[in-house]
């Protein structure tokens, strides 16, 4: 089962249950709200993690920096540049 099918199944179940939330006992309604909040929070966290990497790669590309140049800066394996005196 792929992620899209799983998420659509959960959305359909929560929507069907949410239509009858007024008839649910308080504990069950609270549990449904807690479950939906947790699920949405996890989905947003994964989306934002992906967006963070997209932004970082976009900034590096916009600056015109290459991966070997950045690696040499980070680990000091590049040639040292003499500063003018």
- In a domain? residue 58: yes
Question: pTM of this prediction?
Answer: 0.46
What is the rounded distance in angstroms from the CA atom of residue 10 to the CA atom of residue 76?
A: 50
The model's pLDDT over 38-68, given as tens digits with 9 standing for 90+, comes to 888 888 888 888 888 888 888 878 777 777 7
- In a domain? residue 81: no
Residue 57: closest CA among 44, 66, 48, 47: 66
Percent of the chain with pLDDT over 90: 0
- In a domain? residue 59: yes
CB 70 within 8 A of CB 60: yes
Residue 29: closest CA among 43, 41, 19: 19
Domain range enclosing 34: 3-75
Q: Which two tokens stand for residue 51?
A: 């967006």
How many domains does one find in the chain? 1
């Amino acid at each position: 089962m792929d992620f899209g099918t799983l998420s659509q199944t959960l959305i359909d179940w929560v929507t069907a249950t949410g239509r009858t939330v007024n008839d649910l006992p308080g504990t069950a309604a609270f549990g449904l709200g807690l479950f939906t909040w947790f699920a949405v929070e996890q989905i947003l966290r994964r989306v934002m993690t992906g967006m963070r990497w997209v932004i970082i790669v976009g900034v590096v590309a916009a600056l015109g920096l290459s991966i070997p140049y950045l690696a040499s800066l980070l680990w000091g394996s590049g040639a040292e540049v003499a500063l003018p005196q």
